[in-house]
């Protein structure tokens, strides 16, 4: 069953060089930054959502990503994700807050705190001490990596079976 969210395409590439086995890179065209998660929506809700997104005047925002982290935690490092610097994080939080009210009828957030990030790699390995060490090494190897993206278009995404597609 598909789920829906709004956000930005985020084709970060500079952090790829830090990723090691057993992590696998998420394909560039699948990388995104989620602003609001909606979960499953009915057909008429999707149509309303699309109209609302089209009505939003997207603010152009430049965000620098300057570190890698393990998600959901270093103890269970299933994903490696690039995170924005302090300034970029604050900009994304403000944008999210500015559109939250418009989409309040749809929002089914899974997490209480908004933690902007772009997942760049994943693993299916069990969370062992060895995996934690590999995740820590990847994070350490990315200490000097920095990449900047310009977000200027809010998009509606559909997620199903591990793949995302842009609806509008």
Closest C-alpha to 92, from 113, 121, 70 = 113
Helix boundaries (H) for the chain: 43-55, 86-100, 129-141
Q: How many CB atoms lie within 10 A of CB 54?
A: 10
| pLDDT beyond 70 at 80 | yes
Write down the domain spans for the chain.
Answer: 3-153
Q: Within a 10 A sphere around the Cβ of 33, how many other Cβ atoms?
A: 21
Tens-digit pLDDT profile for residues 28-54:
999 999 999 999 999 999 999 999 999
Q: Say which CATH architecture domain 3-153 belongs to.
A: Alpha-Beta Complex (3.90)
Prediction pTM value = 0.93
């Amino acid at each position: 069953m598909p789920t829906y969210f709004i956000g930005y395409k985020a084709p970060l590439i500079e952090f790829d060089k830090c990723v090691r086995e057993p992590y696998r890179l998420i394909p560039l065209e699948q990388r995104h930054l989620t602003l609001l998660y909606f979960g499953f929506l009915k057909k008429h809700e999707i149509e309303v959502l699309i109209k609302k997104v089209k009505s939003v005047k997207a603010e152009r925002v430049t965000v620098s990503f300057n570190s890698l982290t393990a998600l959901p935690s270093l103890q269970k490092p299933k994903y490696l994700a690039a995170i924005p610097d302090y300034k970029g994080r604050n900009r994304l939080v403000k944008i999210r807050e500015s559109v939250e009210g418009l989409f309040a009828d749809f929002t089914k957030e899974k997490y209480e705190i908004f933690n902007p990030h772009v997942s760049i790699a994943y693993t299916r390995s069990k969370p062992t001490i060895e995996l934690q060490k590999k995740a820590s090494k990847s994070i350490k190897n990315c200490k000097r990596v920095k990449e900047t993206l310009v977000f200027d278009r809010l998009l509606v995404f559909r997620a199903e079976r591990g793949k995302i597609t842009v609806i509008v």
